[in-house]
Copies of this chain bind each other. A is one copy, B any other.
């Protein structure tokens, strides 16, 4: 599908135009980058499927979650590359292009809603914490995603109230990762702990940059939608194909029985 479209140039922005009143919008450059990321996620999903075939069925749980995450991410990026899944919202600030109606991709948040709990589940199952703790952390993560989504869709200054909610929920997630899950991983042995620490450092650093990107794009209207695409896209690519692949690699060396599954 996409290859046919690409062969005659990427016309996504023309074929699926946003409403005429939306002045701060994605251009071909941003769409091309989204197509690139889409290809990265699709290849990642395929690679995980192949990798799963070489693992006994009972050890595949981490593969299952990773395949799901990569699949959802590919679907999300297909949507944004096609210039779909967006709406126009009046900006609060006039930093970029003097303000106006900005194209907000709600599809991005739908994607995170589906992808981020899968990645978190992977990490938390790997640390061996109890399932009520996992459920609570996933709940906090979903509150974070939904809060910043609403914040992105609210035109008035009240958006920062939702952002604040989201950041509080995000601190709850980080608290459980850094204090609860790390302690639990330590008890599972030094090799699990080492792999967990690599993941933890990666995730806490990358995921801290997401709220900053939000503040610069949907929140503060400081950077262009194309720059927003680049910023979020790089973070997503580091999270999913890189960090999650390290994780899949690490999980192949640890039996799921040691993790209490």
Interface contact B72-A165, CB-CB below 8 Å: no
Interface contact A82-B132, CB-CB below 8 Å: no
Q: Does A97 contact B (CB under 8 A)?
A: no
1/0 contact string of A150-174 vs chain B (CB within 8 Å): 1000101110111011000100000
Known: A16-B154, A158-B12, A161-B1. A143 touches B61 (CB 8 A): no
Q: Closest chain B residue to A136 by CB distance? A: B64
Q: Does A58 contact B (CB under 8 A)?
A: yes
Q: Closest chain B residue to A68 by CB distance? A: B139
Partner of A158 from B15, B143, B157 at Cβ < 8 Å: B15
Residues of B within 8 A of A67 (CB): 136
Q: Closest chain B residue to A158 by CB distance? A: B82
* Total residues of chain A contacting the partner, CB 8 A: 42
1/0 contact string of A52-85 vs chain B (CB within 8 Å): 0000011011001001100110110011001010
Q: Does A27 contact B (CB under 8 A)?
A: no
Residues of A whose CB lies within 8 Å of any CB of B are: 1-2, 12, 15-16, 57-58, 60-61, 64, 67-68, 71-72, 74-75, 78-79, 82, 84, 130, 132-133, 135-136, 139-140, 143, 146-147, 150, 154, 156-158, 160-162, 164-165, 169, 180
7 residue pairs A–B, Cβ–Cβ below 8 Å: A2-B161, A16-B158, A57-B133, A61-B132, A64-B139, A71-B169, A78-B165
